[in-house]
Structure 1
Amino acid sequence: MSMKAISSKDATSLDKDLMDQAIGGWSLDQLMELAGLSVSQAIYRVHPPSAGKDVLVICGPGNNGGDGLVAARHLAHYGYNPSIYYPKQGKNELYQRLKTQLTNLSVPFIPEADFQPALKSTSFIVDSIFGFSFGGPLREPFPSIISAIETASVPVLSVDAPSSWDIENGPPKEGPGAKFMPQFLISLTAPKPCVKFYRGKHFLGGRFLTKGIAEKYGLVVPEYPGVDQVVELDIDAEGKL
């Protein structure tokens, strides 16, 4: 199926509506939990444990990184061996609680010195660095990290948008990320305009939109199969605002 893309401005507004007590009634940690669950289900669909249990989740400092932390927890329960690279860690209580949950499951946090060896030994990479709010430019340590992901020899799934991509205009013209085309992408809540530049297998996650909020932003709520939190989208029909 296809779905209309939503601009970064409208995505921000939609998130506020979801967390408005009188409109959506959701809390940030509820939305992050469902987003991370969606990410984990997309990974299971394209890379089941039989294809390789070692998964490296690379997290940024914001909510996109939080989605990756939640996904890693679910992957651990599914039987994977996730590890986390989290070079600039979020400081608020929510991220600290997610870290505690992972530590309690013996999920390792990779130090900087072990990042390159971890890239070479993993069977799958999750790019959970930047989401729809990314506006550039890249700042260290992320240029070198994205360059490493870009040239990795294993499949990559990006969360919400390929990191380094402009949400409206797609990959940068040059530098880190200019040739970054992950094999898999999961958009959260709704696709972002940059998907018109994407070529790969594309999923939508976030099974929480109500009819009223969807209509406000001109979105179609997809039919999720069964108990799945993800649905595959038709990449050729998207990107039209």
Structure 2
Amino acid sequence: MSLRYLSAKLAQQIDEELMGAAGAFSLDQLMELAGLACAQTVAKVYDTEKYNRVLVCCGPGNQGGDGLVAARHLSMFGFSPTLYMPKPGSKDIYKRLHRQCANMSIPTLPHDPPNDLATSYDLILDAIFGFSFKPPVRTPFDTLLPLLSRSKLPIVSVDIPSGWDVERGPVELTKNASGEDKQEQLDMSYLEPDVLISLTAPKEGVKGFKGRHYLGGRFVSRELEKKYQLNLPQYYGYEQIVELPPETDETTQKL
């Protein structure tokens, strides 16, 4: 059976069930497993010598927490991550994850990154926006996404490329002359990553993604997979990730 792609509402519902009485996971556990999957994806695709300097861009929410965990594991894997948090999260879990990175001597940029990112970094890990994001992109991220795009560096995005609508993909809502919402393709308003690591199950908005696509969600129980008919692929050995085949209309379904 074909892999299911999730709407924002159902992705949220599954997350709540994972952390509810039935799933019994804590947020810390899920972030640790998600961040490990992200770091494994980077290590799987990119050589530590050629792509050693990784700029890990973290948003203020749970997506940013995944990025902080990933940075810690990347450091253990032999990469040299640097954190950039234009709007640091305020929750205790976020602060603790950041402290864990500091304890491993992972630097955090005290200011905006340089305009010429390619002189300082080899790779970007995009952990800015999660599946709850709704366009348009607002400050301070409205200047960050164009900067990342212009760098021409390889980009690995976590769960959903930043700036993409979780159900419609790389579109942005604006107002037309009559004040009604419309969809427009806007240059530089979203990222176009080379690699995507979806978490739990891929989201509807990435059905047209053309790069290498991995899935990380080995924490999903068989009961939960069956309940939502996720039809997840098989994970091999001890890895937390599995590469998904190129998408066709025949191999994907919406849920």
- The whole-number CA distance in structure 2 between the counterparts of 1:141 and 1:179 is 14
Instruction: Answer whether contact 2:142 2:189 (CA < 8 A) is retained.
Output: no
For 2:198, which of 168, 172, 187 is the aligned residue?
A: 187
- The whole-number CA distance in structure 2 between the counterparts of 1:150 and 1:116 is 11
Instruction: Answer whether contact 2:59 2:85 (CA < 8 A) is retained.
Output: yes
Q: Secondary structure at the match of 2:186?
A: coil
- Aligned counterparts, 1:105-120, within 5 A: 105-118=104-117, 120=119
Instruction: Answer whether contact 2:69 2:97 (CA < 8 A) is retained.
Output: yes
User: Are the structure 2 counterparts of residues 62 and 176 from structure 1 closer, same or farther at C-alpha, using a change threshold of 3 Å?
Assistant: farther
Instruction: Answer whether contact 1:83 1:109 (CA < 8 A) is retained.
Output: yes
The structural deviation recorded for 1:166 is 0.6
In terms of mean alpha carbon deviation, does 165-174 or 72-81 score higher?
Answer: 165-174
Q: Give deviations 1:145-178, integer Å, cap 9, x for gaps.
A: 1111122221000000110001111102333545
The answer to which structure has the higher strand fraction is: 2
- The whole-number CA distance in structure 2 between the counterparts of 1:11 and 1:143 is 25
Percent of matched pairs sharing the same residue: 45
Q: Give deviations 1:37-86, integer Å, cap 9, x for gaps.
A: 00000000111202221000001000011100000000011111100000
User: Are the structure 2 counterparts of residues 92 and 176 from structure 1 closer, same or farther at C-alpha, using a change threshold of 3 Å?
Assistant: farther
In terms of mean alpha carbon deviation, does 98-107 or 146-155 score higher?
Answer: 146-155
- The whole-number CA distance in structure 1 between the counterparts of 2:110 and 2:187 is 22
State yes or no: 1:97 paired with 2:110. Answer: no
The gaps in structure 1 that reach 5 residues or longer are: none
Instruction: Answer whether contact 1:2 1:234 (CA < 8 A) is retained.
Output: no
One-letter amino acid matched to 1:189: T
- The whole-number CA distance in structure 2 between the counterparts of 1:224 and 1:232 is 9
Q: Secondary structure at the match of 1:84?
A: strand
Hey, what does 2:155 align to over in structure 1?
156
Q: Secondary structure at the match of 1:191?
A: coil
Hey, what does 1:224 align to over in structure 2?
235
- The whole-number CA distance in structure 1 between the counterparts of 2:217 and 2:148 is 25
The gaps in structure 2 that reach 5 residues or longer are: 172-183
**Runs ≥4 residues deviating over 2 A:** 111-120, 173-180, 237-240
Hey, what does 1:200 align to over in structure 2?
211
State yes or no: 1:240 paired with 2:253. Answer: yes
User: Are the structure 2 counterparts of residues 14 and 77 from structure 1 closer, same or farther at C-alpha, using a change threshold of 3 Å?
Assistant: same
Instruction: Answer whether contact 2:64 2:128 (CA < 8 A) is retained.
Output: yes
Hey, what does 1:136 align to over in structure 2?
135
The structural deviation recorded for 1:127 is 0.6
The structural deviation recorded for 1:115 is 4.1
One-letter amino acid matched to 2:143: S
RMSD: 1.7
One-letter amino acid matched to 2:168: N
Q: Secondary structure at the match of 1:135?
A: coil
Hey, what does 2:5 align to over in structure 1?
5
Give the TM-score normalised by the residue count of structure 1: 0.94
Instruction: Answer whether contact 1:195 1:235 (CA < 8 A) is retained.
Output: no
The structural deviation recorded for 1:117 is 4.9
One-letter amino acid matched to 2:42: I
The structural deviation recorded for 1:112 is 2.4
Instruction: Answer whether contact 1:165 1:177 (CA < 8 A) is retained.
Output: no
- The whole-number CA distance in structure 2 between the counterparts of 1:131 and 1:192 is 11
